[in-house]
Amino acid sequence: MLRVRSAAVPRDDQLDSGFDRASAEDRKWNVLLSLVAAVGNARSWQEPDGNDVLAASAELHARQDVPPPVTMASMDDIEPARDGAGKAPRSRRYLVALTDGGGTVPPELGVARRLLDRGHRVTVLADDSLADQVRPTGAAFSPWPANTVGEIRDWELRSPLSLARDMVDHMIAGPAPGHAQHTAAAIDETPPDLVLASFTEFGAMIAAEARGIPFDVLLPNVYALPVRGMPPIGTGFPPAGGSLGRLRDLVASSGSGRLIDRYALKRINALRAAHGLDLITTTWDQVHRARRQLVLTSSHFDFPAELPPSARYVGPILDDPAWAVDDRWLPPSGDEPLVLVAMSSTFQNQLGCLQRVVDALGRLPVRGLVTTGPRISPADIRAPANVSVLAAAPHGEAMRHASVVVTHGGHGTVVKSLVAGLPLVILPHGRDQADNAVRVTTRGAGIVVSRRASARRIAGAIATVLDSPAYRRAAMELGALVAHDASLDRPLLEELEH
């Protein structure tokens, strides 16, 4: 058994501040969502166990005519089966409109790379910050107009109203007019056969619709729109099994949808009208105008739900980001278990949490490999002798040496860990991370710890996962199913080429 070395640590309530001071209207929403959370945590709504969820996922997968595998695949086996989609049809033109969403970028660029490998012509519209990641794919690159809406700073916000407003201003409605104009100009210059848009690229969707060009939406996460059977995104709720749980989902989905509509719908409809399009009833109706919603994850990882006819699970794309692929690294020396720490590739005010994770590793008889990502300097981390801190390392390679992964819960890191058969300790920071975390814990493949947890608590969670073979077995079981879906390019290419 791993033993945690004792040392004085601050209390959890001394580590991070609580909610910002909210307006009266914000407080109403806080009370409402707190009530929803209380219902969500109640035992009476009959949470299904992990085996029930896996069985339902397998049933859903069977309906899609994809047989589930029976053995665990290693990371070496997950080389995309690019010949499996058959001979490529005539060369086509694709216009790919991306948002710089950090961890969403590698799988979305992975889509572009697979199209290029099939002989198609691809142009990527994206923020100038992505130029160095786009160019290695071989795609043509056209930067969006200069960013005038600023960077999303969701880590500074606490109330539901402020979070919704910030998301709309910085990701949905704020950039939409300029992006619509730029996309329309690109279409007029060289008409594509299909436009592919990030989930929040509403301007590109509107331009494609206005020009009569079909468009698909890329969702490199779990399915994010409200549908029957799916817990509302951003809540971290497990599936509902009873009437209280269904009420929970209805109230939370309705509330979050109305918050987004409050700040986005009028602006999106004004833009649609300016481009000669009819009005939509809700903001998410714009996404439902897509020819396809391509969900870049495994249906076995996501919870089973009644998705709309246009939605397709096409498997996760496990490509490492361009800024990590060529980094030279070696596993830390020694025979102790290796703990890989991988936090967000975007800034989420994670420095304090990352330092507590490193301090936790210093209390354990393990080797630690910490990758800080492009937004935090390794020099900002005080590391004990048993921990190596790097800016980046290719996680696919590092995971071959690891015994457990500690992460914020981004979809890419979570799925790669499962495919490698590794259990997780997850400290969600926001966004979709609690949703990814609950899909891990429901299946018994890891533990969730508060991002405000002390070093002692984090060390205890890591030790628990390392000492309990059940976590590793559950991760391997779920990972085998996800690995099968990750090994196939056929579903994705069939949707894009036909």
170-187 pLDDT tens trace: 889 999 999 999 999 999
Is there a single domain that holds both residue 273 and residue 352?
no
Is there a single domain that holds both residue 255 and residue 356?
no
Is there a single domain that holds both residue 310 and residue 331?
no
Residue 4, in any domain of the structure? no
DSSP 321: P
Taking only the tens place, the pLDDT of each residue in 253-269 is: 888 899 999 999 999 99
Q: What's the pLDDT band for 141 if we cut at 50, 70, 90?
A: very high
- Percent of residues, the chain, with pLDDT higher than 90: 59
Beta pairing class for 292-295 and 424-426: unpaired
Residue 28, in any domain of the structure? no
Q: What's the pLDDT band for 210 if we cut at 50, 70, 90?
A: very high
* CATH number, domain with residue 86: 3.40.50.2000
Q: What's the pLDDT band for 150 if we cut at 50, 70, 90?
A: low
Contact 218, 181 (CB under 8 A): no
Residue 136 pLDDT exceeds 80? yes
SS3 annotation, 11-23: CHHHCCCCCCCCC
Looking at per-residue pLDDT, the higher value among 389 and 322 belongs to 389
Taking only the tens place, the pLDDT of each residue in 397-447 is: 889 999 999 999 999 999 999 999 999 999 998 778 999 999 999 999 999
Is there a single domain that holds both residue 327 and residue 382?
yes
Residue 418: predicted pLDDT: 97
Residue 359 backbone dihedrals phi, psi, to 5 degrees: -60, -35
Question: Comparing C-alpha atoms, which of 227, 377, 408, 414 is closest to residue 305?
Answer: 227
Residue 52 pLDDT exceeds 80? no
Is there a single domain that holds both residue 222 and residue 87?
yes
Q: At what angle do helices 351-361 and 455-467 cross, to 10 degrees?
A: 60
pTM of the model: 0.83
Residue 23, in any domain of the structure? no
Is there a single domain that holds both residue 366 and residue 217?
no
Residue 82, domain extent: 50-317+489-497
Looking at per-residue pLDDT, the higher value among 415 and 330 belongs to 415
Is there a single domain that holds both residue 147 and residue 187?
yes
HSE (side-chain half, CA atoms, 13 Å) at 57: 27
Residue 31, in any domain of the structure? no
Q: What's the pLDDT band for 65 if we cut at 50, 70, 90?
A: very low
Is there a single domain that holds both residue 335 and residue 297?
no
Residue 143, in any domain of the structure? yes
Is there a single domain that holds both residue 291 and residue 328?
no
Residue 37 pLDDT exceeds 80? no
Residue 374 pLDDT exceeds 60? yes
Is there a single domain that holds both residue 154 and residue 193?
yes
Q: Residue for token digits 């196939």?
A: 488
Residue 39, in any domain of the structure? no
Is there a single domain that holds both residue 331 and residue 294?
no
Residue 252 pLDDT exceeds 50? yes
Residue 43: predicted pLDDT: 37
Q: What's the pLDDT band for 2 if we cut at 50, 70, 90?
A: low
Contacts 24+ apart (CB under 8 A), 123-126: 123/93, 123/94, 123/95, 123/96, 123/186, 123/190, 123/192, 124/96, 124/97, 124/98, 125/95, 125/96, 125/97, 125/98, 125/179, 125/182, 125/183, 125/186, 125/204, 126/96, 126/97, 126/98, 126/99, 126/100
Average pLDDT over residues 242-251: 88
Residue 7, in any domain of the structure? no
Number of compact structural domains in the chain: 2
Q: What's the pLDDT band for 146 if we cut at 50, 70, 90?
A: confident
Is there a single domain that holds both residue 430 and residue 307?
no
Residue 137, in any domain of the structure? yes
Residue 53: predicted pLDDT: 56
Contact 152, 167 (CB under 8 A): yes
